[in-house]
Amino acid sequence: MNQAEDHNLLEAIGGAPLAETANVVEVTDLHKWFGRNEVLKGVSMTVRQREVVVVCGPSGSGKTTFIRCVNHLEKIQQGRVMVNGHLIGYREENGRLVSDKEANIARQRREIGMVFQRFNLFPHKTALGNIIEAPVQVRGIPEDEAIEMGRKLLTRVGLAHKEDAYPAQLSGGQQQRVAIARALAMRPAVMLFDEPTSALDPEMIGEVLEVMKELAREGMTMIVVSHEMGFAREVADRIVMMDDGLIIEEGTPEHFFTNPQQERTKSFLSKIL
Report strand pairing: 112-115 vs 190-194: parallel
Question: Between residues 109 and 217, which has the closer beta carbon with respect to another protein?
Answer: 109
Beta-bridge partner residues of 80:
28
146 is a contact residue toward another protein (CB under 8 A): no
What's the min distance (Å) between Cβ of 262 and another protein? 32
Question: Between residues 107 and 266, which has the closer beta carbon with respect to another protein?
Answer: 107
Site for another protein in 201-240 (CB under 8 A): none
DSSP 86-103: EESSEEEETTEEEEPPHH
Q: Phi and psi at residue 141, in whole multiples of 5°?
A: -70, 140
Question: Between residues 7 and 63, which has the closer beta carbon with respect to another protein?
Answer: 63
Closest CA to 152 of 136, 188, 128: 128
Cβ distance 222 to 193 under 8 Å?
Answer: yes
Report the C-alpha gap between 55 and 121 in whole angstroms: 24
Please pick, from the candidates 35, 95, 123, 140, the single residue that binds another protein as defined by CB under 8 A.
123
What's the min distance (Å) between Cβ of 183 and another protein? 7
What's the min distance (Å) between Cβ of 171 and another protein? 13
Question: Between residues 71 and 265, which has the closer beta carbon with respect to another protein?
Answer: 71
Cβ distance 131 to 153 under 8 Å?
Answer: yes
Stretch that binds another protein, among 43-51, 76-84, 143-151, 163-171 (CB under 8 A): 163-171
Q: What angle do CA 144, 145, 150 make, to 5 degrees?
A: 95
183 is a contact residue toward another protein (CB under 8 A): yes
Report the C-alpha gap between 237 and 228 in whole angstroms: 14
Stretch that binds another protein, among 165-173, 201-209, 245-253, 255-263 (CB under 8 A): 165-173
Stretch that binds another protein, among 2-10, 42-50, 91-99, 137-145 (CB under 8 A): 137-145
Please pick, from the candidates 77, 169, 261, 267, the single residue that binds another protein as defined by CB under 8 A.
169
Per-residue mark of binding to another protein, 55-74 (x: CB under 8 A): ----------------x-x-
Closest CA to 236 of 57, 71, 56, 27: 56
Report strand pairing: 96-99 vs 112-115: unpaired
Please pick, from the candidates 41, 50, 80, 110, the single residue that binds another protein as defined by CB under 8 A.
110
Report the C-alpha gap between 27 and 90 in whole angstroms: 13
What's the min distance (Å) between Cβ of 24 and another protein? 17
Beta-bridge partner residues of 81:
27
Please, which residues have CB within 8 angstroms of residue 142's CB and are 6 or more apart in sequence? Answer: 136
Question: Between residues 47 and 178, which has the closer beta carbon with respect to another protein?
Answer: 178
> Binding residues for another protein, per CB under 8 A?
71, 73, 102-103, 106-107, 109-110, 112-114, 116, 118, 120-124, 133-134, 137-139, 166-169, 182-183, 186
